[in-house]
Each structure stands twice: as structure tokens, then as C-alpha cells.
Structure 1
Amino acid sequence: MPRARRIPRELSIGPFSGTRAVAAGLLTRRMLAGRTWRRVLPDVYVHAAVFDADDHRMWCEAVALKLPPGGAVRGLSAAYLWGVDLLPRDSPVYVDLPPTTRLWRHPRVSVTHHTLEPADITTLSGGIPLTTEVRTGFDLGRRLPRADALAALDALLHHRSFRREALVRYVDAHPGRRGTAQLRELVALAEPLSESPMESRLRLLLHDAGLPRPVPQHEVRTPPDTSATSATSGAPPSAVRGAPRGRFLARVDLAYPRWRIAIEYEGDHHRERAMFRRDVARYNALRAAGWLVLRFTADDVLRQSGQLVHDVRQAIAERAAS
């Protein structure tokens, strides 16, 4: 009985060009038609054992094999490759192509045509051409709906070496582009401490309502015990280097420390039993310390925003008057 032919390693770990593999003598056309391989794009195959329809990087690698010179993965797909996952399931790979080029249509590929400067394109290991971090932020901040754009900028600032100042310089060097006014506004509002897209949306709601800007990811602590330090040094507690900070109680999503108001976004993971128990302990500790905790869900942010803003505004008014 003949032994099964060994599969070359370079063909077993990711997408490859069928034509190139055949030309190199690694496979035959007949072998490519077998069950061992999955055809994902025209002339692009992947080993059936590693095929995953939800693996966006696999799709990016497959598309990269078909991109012409000057083409690059862009937008949310580029952000994903930079470590920021804001993609819905089954999302297409977003690519930019030079205006004069065309690419076959495929449900997993979304094409736009723009002229990218050579400095706007870089290459990841694996040979994927994609827009640089700053160009990715420039595109997302201009092209996405406003709330989605802020969430994308927050996530880029939070996860990567992406710098707000670099994006501002890039915007200044490319005036007049469509959506630049929105981008300039959102760059000023972007917050690297934001930890989820819904937190970004919640913060934008408060901004649009004219409410004060809250402090993100604020640590709440008990009042420090400074009696011993100030007595021995003769200086006021605030002037003592390394003065005690008090016992840590909780870190809240958004806060108005002046009025001791905490604003929390409650995602689905807060329904898990262990998380629920921790939340109860946190909220009891915050209440004992004199903090008011306002808790909001996705439904509040997306469909009851008027009531959400009213609740925050009322809380501030009541606390300010007390």
C-alpha cells in the first residue's frame, strides 16, 4: 500500500497560491482538488485541518496573496491586525486598491479605491500589506459613523503604541480630506483608558449632552491616614512625598470625583455569578464611602439615551446642591 505523501510545512500553516505551489512541485492540480485542501479565493487554498471561517487573519493572509502593487488591507481589518478587534463575525476583509485596478468580487472582501502614499503602507510578518497605524486611525476616524469612530480611536490608543500627536500631525499634513472635521473633534475626545466600545459610546453621549467630562477608570480609595506622617514631618499631608493614598476600594468606568458619582457600564459578563458577587461587594463598598453608582446597560446607551442623560444630569444637580 503506497504511503500518503507528506504535506509540505509551508502549505499546512496558512493560505497559499495554488499556481505557485504546483509550479514549485509541492502539489499537483489533482491533489489540490482533493479533500485535504480548501479553496478560499480564486487560486488561493488552505489546509482543511487549519481552515477556520471565523479566523479573520487567515482571510487577510488569503487576500494579501491577490493584492496588486499599491493595494493594502485597511480600516477595521488593518486595526484587527494591529491588535484592535472591533469586527463583527463574518466581516469581510477591507482593502484599498489603486483607482485604476480591479479585483474580483467575493463576499469576504470589501474593496475601496484610493491612492495610498508608499509611507502609508507597511508589511506584517507573513507578507500582509496593510495601512500603518496612523493611516488606519486617520481612515477610521473619518469614515466610520461618529460613535464607532470614537470607539476605534479609543481602542487604538489603548492597545498600541499609537500616539495622538502623530495622528494630529498626519491630519495637519492632509487637509481637506472628507470627514476631517469629525476626525479632529474625535481626536480631542479620544481616551486611551477606555476599555470597551460601549464605554466610548457612553462617554460620547455625556459629551454631546453638554455634561462635564468624566474621569475614566477612576480609582476610589478611602481617605488616607496621614496623622503619623504629618506629625513627624511638620509639613501638611499633601506636601509629604510618598504620603499614604488610602485603601483601594474600586476602579470605576467613569467618575465625577468632585461629586462622588460613579458611572458603570454593565456588559453581559456582569451576569456571571462570580462577577455578580464581586460587583455587589464593590457597590456596597462604594456606597459606604459616600459614592453614588449609576449603572447602565447596552439598552440604555443605544435605545434609552435620553433617560440616561437625564439620570446623570439629575445626579450631578442633586450632589452639587447637597
Structure 2
Amino acid sequence: MPSVARVPRRLAFLPFRGSAAVTEGLVTWAMLRGSTWHKLLPDVYVHADGYRETDHRMWCDALALVLPSGGTIAGRSALYLWGTDLLGRNAPVSVLLPRSVRMRPHPRLSVVRSPLPEDDRTRFGGLPVTTPLRTAFDLGRQPPLAEAVVAVDALLRRRVVKLPALADYAVRRAGWPGMPQFRRVLALAEPLSESPMETRLRLLLLDAGLGPIVAQHDVLDARGRFVGRVDLAWPALRVAVEYDGDHHRERAHFRQDVARLNALRAAGWLVLRFTADDVLRHPARTIALVTGALRERRLGRH
């Protein structure tokens, strides 16, 4: 029975520099050419057990090994590392480099060149990454506007960025590209938004002229007792709009939602619920339903 090659623990799952591993005697170049290892980048390998073609973290780990001095992971890749995944399938790793620094092109790499003060760099999860403030500032200046707000809301929601600090940060960089959009992002950002799709739904309604909208509104009954919290609300009209994600389909959550919805109706609230399909594929229908509900309540007050 053939023996199974022993894999050094240090090389079992994470990407590594092949030349360094060979120098340390952990593997040979002949071994690295075998099927046990995947070559990710020039001189960067990963064991077959750790290889996942669509694993963005694996590609961040790999590219971090070959980042030139002064470079850092940035943009949506930084947002991913800070805890929010807004990446498309097989998205390249976004890297920020000073203008004078060069890096070999690769399909899994997207390079942006910009000034990068030391205060805008940090380490997170062992990787060089732009600080939350710099990440929010960069993504907030990238069109389209709605996706810029989604990204900033995500960092605000995770409490790694606060809106006043972000506004102060922007003031100190008033001449940077993209500032007109960034000022709009600051005006539209909502720290209480609980998901990217909730932000998209809120922006859809605001763009239709249905504001102002209160996010995460606590509903009380006539005796001042807490009934429930709604995603988006027009409190004076007692109209609420909610985004239903996949978690609402779980049996236990579904039962809780039914009881909560009945309590809101008993308190005199009209609640409309929408899915991602409603927001992304049928925005006109979604706007019409909300507009109709608000009109109905306004007419009922007279």
C-alpha cells in the first residue's frame, strides 16, 4: 500500500510562499508541482484541502503574501474582511497601492492607486487592510450612489465606523475625487439599517419621493407598551414597510413574525412586506404599493 505524503501543519490550509517553504525544507519544488498543491499566484501555493476557487478570504491571504510595501487590501475586499460580503462571484481582490508602487497584474487582482497615509492602514485577521474609516470613504465615493450608501451603512451597522467621525474624516480630504457623491452618501446614510437589502429598499422609497422615513421604529400600543420594531416607518400615518430576508422562512421565525404582525395590526398599523425580488426586479410595483398605502392613510385622516 503506498504511503501518504505527510503535509506539514503550517502548510495544511493557508496559502504560503513556495520559495520560503522549500528553503525551510518543508516541501520540494517537485512536490509543489504535484496534485497535492494548487498554485494560486507566482510562488504562492495552497494545499488541495484548503483550496476553494470562490473563497475570497483565500485569495486575500494569497495576495497579501505578495503585496508590495505600502500596499493594502481595500474597497469591497476590505469591507468583506470587516464583516460584510457585497462581493460578486469570483470578484477580484481589491488592493490599494501608492502611485509609485508596481504590482504584477493578475485576474484575481484589482488595483487602485491613491495616496495611502499610514493612519489609513491597519491589520485585521492577520492581513493588511484599510481602516474602517478609509474603507467607508473609498466605497462612499464609488458609483453607483445606492451601492455606495449600502457599503457605508454596512460599516455603520457593524459599529466600526461612526457617522460624525466619517464626516470629519471627509472634511480633511475635501479635494479628493468623488466628494460630491460622498456628501450625498453622508446625507443618506442610516446607522440603524439592519441589512444591505433594507438600505436598498429605503433608498428606492426615498428616490420615489416617499420620505422622510424613520428606520427601526419602535411601535407602542395605546397604553405605551412595546408592540414591535419595524424596519421603515411613517409613524404619523402608522404605516410600516419591512424587508423579508431568507431567515424569515425558518419555521420558528415565521411563527414569531405572524404573532408580531397580528399585534401590529391590532395596534392600528398597516404593514407592507417586501422581498429582494420586489426591490430589485419590481421596483415600480413596490413603489406603487407603498404610495397607495400612504395615500389611503392620509385620506382616512380626513
> Shared fold by TM > 0.5?
yes
Question: Which position in structure 2 is the counterpart of 1:44?
Answer: 44
Alpha-carbon distance in 2 for matches of 1:271, 1:182: 37
Question: Which position in structure 1 is the counterpart of 2:260?
Answer: 282
Question: Which position in structure 2 is the counterpart of 1:241?
Answer: none
Task: Please say if residues 154 and 194 of structure 1, whose CA atoms lie closer than 8 Å, have aligned partners that are also in contact.
Answer: yes
Alpha-carbon distance in 1 for matches of 2:200, 2:177: 23
After superposing the two structures, state which structure 1 stretch, 110-119 or 72-81, moved more: 110-119
Question: Which position in structure 1 is the counterpart of 2:55?
Answer: 55
Task: Please say if residues 16 and 62 of structure 1, whose CA atoms lie closer than 8 Å, have aligned partners that are also in contact.
Answer: yes
Stretches of 4+ moved more than 6 A in 1? none
TM-score (norm 1): 0.85
Question: Which position in structure 2 is the counterpart of 1:157?
Answer: 156
User: Aligned residues: percent identity?
Assistant: 56
Alpha-carbon distance in 2 for matches of 1:21, 1:2: 25
Task: Please say if residues 15 and 61 of structure 2, whose CA atoms lie closer than 8 Å, have aligned partners that are also in contact.
Answer: yes
TM-score (norm 2): 0.90
Q: Which residue type is aligned with residue 198 of structure 2? A: E
Is the counterpart of residue 69 in structure 1 residue 69 in structure 2?
yes
Question: Which position in structure 2 is the counterpart of 1:99?
Answer: 99
User: Which runs of 5 or more structure 2 residues have no equivalent in the other structure?
Assistant: none
Q: Which residue type is aligned with residue 71 of structure 1? A: G
Structure 2 residue matching 1:143: 3-state secondary structure:
coil
Task: Please say if residues 206 and 213 of structure 1, whose CA atoms lie closer than 8 Å, have aligned partners that are also in contact.
Answer: no
Total equivalences in the alignment: 300
Alpha-carbon distance in 1 for matches of 2:8, 2:186: 47
Alpha-carbon distance in 1 for matches of 2:42, 2:159: 34
Task: Please say if residues 254 and 264 of structure 1, whose CA atoms lie closer than 8 Å, have aligned partners that are also in contact.
Answer: yes
Matches within 5 A, 1:28-43: 28-43=28-43
Alpha-carbon distance in 2 for matches of 1:319, 1:143: 38
Q: Deviations over 1:135-162 (max 9, x none)?
A: 1000000014111111111110011321
Alpha-carbon distance in 2 for matches of 1:288, 1:149: 38
Structure 2 residue matching 1:96: 3-state secondary structure:
strand
After superposing the two structures, state which structure 1 stretch, 311-320 or 58-67, moved more: 311-320
Task: Please say if residues 13 and 49 of structure 2, whose CA atoms lie closer than 8 Å, have aligned partners that are also in contact.
Answer: no
Alpha-carbon distance in 1 for matches of 2:51, 2:283: 42
After superposing the two structures, state which structure 1 stretch, 90-99 or 4-13, moved more: 4-13
Q: Which residue type is aligned with residue 155 of structure 1? A: A
Q: Deviations over 1:207-263 (max 9, x none)?
A: 223333222222323333xxxxxxxxxxxxxxxxxxxx41x4332211122211110
Structure 1 residue matching 2:191: 3-state secondary structure:
coil
Question: Which position in structure 2 is the counterpart of 1:291?
Answer: 269
Task: Please say if residues 94 and 109 of structure 1, whose CA atoms lie closer than 8 Å, have aligned partners that are also in contact.
Answer: yes
Structure index of larger Rg: 1
Distance 1:288 1:2, change over 3 A: closer
Q: How far apart are 1:265 and its partner, in Å?
A: 1.6
User: Which runs of 5 or more structure 1 residues have no equivalent in the other structure?
Assistant: 225-244
Alpha-carbon distance in 1 for matches of 2:89, 2:130: 22
Structure 1 residue matching 2:233: 3-state secondary structure:
strand
Structure 1 residue matching 2:218: 3-state secondary structure:
strand
Q: How far apart are 1:181 and its partner, in Å?
A: 1.2
Question: Which position in structure 2 is the counterpart of 1:181?
Answer: 180
Alpha-carbon distance in 2 for matches of 1:37, 1:73: 25
Q: Which residue type is aligned with residue 53 of structure 2? A: A
Q: How far apart are 1:73 and its partner, in Å?
A: 0.8
Is the counterpart of residue 257 in structure 1 residue 235 in structure 2?
yes
Is the counterpart of residue 222 in structure 1 residue 221 in structure 2?
yes
Q: How far apart are 1:45 and its partner, in Å?
A: 0.7
Q: Which residue type is aligned with residue 264 of structure 1? A: E
Q: Which residue type is aligned with residue 112 of structure 1? A: V
Q: How far apart are 1:5 and its partner, in Å?
A: 5.5
After superposing the two structures, state which structure 1 stretch, 212-221 or 13-22, moved more: 212-221
Q: How far apart are 1:271 and its partner, in Å?
A: 4.3
Is the counterpart of residue 112 in structure 1 residue 108 in structure 2?
no
Q: How far apart are 1:274 and its partner, in Å?
A: 4.5
Alpha-carbon distance in 2 for matches of 1:200, 1:124: 26
Alpha-carbon distance in 1 for matches of 2:85, 2:161: 15
Q: Which residue type is aligned with residue 143 of structure 1? A: Q
Alpha-carbon distance in 2 for matches of 1:26, 1:10: 9
Alpha-carbon distance in 2 for matches of 1:3, 1:304: 59
Alpha-carbon distance in 1 for matches of 2:288, 2:27: 66
